[in-house]
Amino acid sequence: MISRSSCADCEVRERSLCAPLDERALGELTSIGQRRHIRRGETLFWAGDAATICGNVLSGALQLTALTHDGREQAVATLYPADFIGRPYAEETVFTVKALADSEICSFPRVPFERMLESHVALERRVMAEAFRKLDDARSQLLTVTRQTAAEKVAGFLIDMAGRDEIKSSRATPDGPVTFELPFKRGQIADVLGLTIETVSRQLTRLKIAGIIGLPSIRGVTIRDEAALRAWAG
């Protein structure tokens, strides 16, 4: 599903790459942009596809994944609202992008978007800064997946999830237990952390038995003892 709409009521207007643009520049961008819905599980593009679009995540969550020749899978990044999609000046995509949840993106055909970058220095700077930030994220993730134990990975993952903006609010009292819904199923957590489904499940069970977390529902998590969880994460 594809539709056009104005930027005025955009969910991520202030947080995305559009933030530094004035009204005129925003108008130009709107003229090449399209809103697009992606259903949960749907693939936006496959590794090796021609790189035809750049854009922004508006809602939902997307995941970039890499595969070995024999089918082992690794999630290399998760994209949340306001994150940038695509690679300007690249001919081919390197990773498969699919939707973890029903999502919406704002997409621009790559070449016109590149023209925008060239004529709007502030836009280009923003995209460059995001690329460097994601580079640091990916490199940090390298440390996590290689040098941390399964227990540390799972605990760290829960801390990251609890720290996401969308989630902060659901605390009953300012320093009481936090409860939230994971936007991932077990297999997806395993993909992100470089573990198996079974190992993720066992680690969650251990944390529950230790009284550090609760698992009120299939996707729900309650952090009962954040300090202990942080200690567990190392």
Partner DNA sequence: CGGAGGATTGATTGTTATCAACGGTGGTGG
Partner DNA sequence: CCACCACCGTTGATAACAATCAATCCTCCG
Contacts with DNA by CB under 7 A lie at: 149-151, 185-187, 194-202, 204-205, 215, 217-219
- Looking at residues 21 to 60 of the shown chain, list those that interact with a second copy (rule: CB under 8 A): none
By CB under 8 A, residue 129 contacts a second copy: yes
97's contact among a second copy, DNA, none, with CB below 5 to 8 A by partner kind, is none
Hey, which bits of 40-122 come out as E strands? 43-45, 53-59, 62-67, 73-79, 84-85, 96-99, 103-109
135's contact among DNA, a second copy, none, with CB below 5 to 8 A by partner kind, is a second copy
- Helices vs. strands in the chain: H and E counts, helices first: 8, 12
Least gap, CB of 146 to a second copy (angstroms): 3
Of all helices (H) and strands (E), which one includes residue 180?
Answer: strand 178-181
- Environment class of residue 11 by beta-carbon count within 10 Å: exposed (0-12), middle (13-18) or buried (19+)? middle
Of 50 and 142, the one with the shorter C-beta distance to a second copy is: 142
Per-residue x/- track, 194-233, a second copy (CB under 8 A)? x---------------------------------------
Of all helices (H) and strands (E), which one includes residue 61?
Answer: none
66's contact among DNA, a second copy, none, with CB below 5 to 8 A by partner kind, is a second copy
Least gap, CB of 16 to DNA (angstroms): 30
Number of Cβ atoms within 10 Å of the Cβ of 226: 16
- Tokens 């009962």 map to which residue? 224
Of 32 and 151, the one with the shorter C-beta distance to DNA is: 151
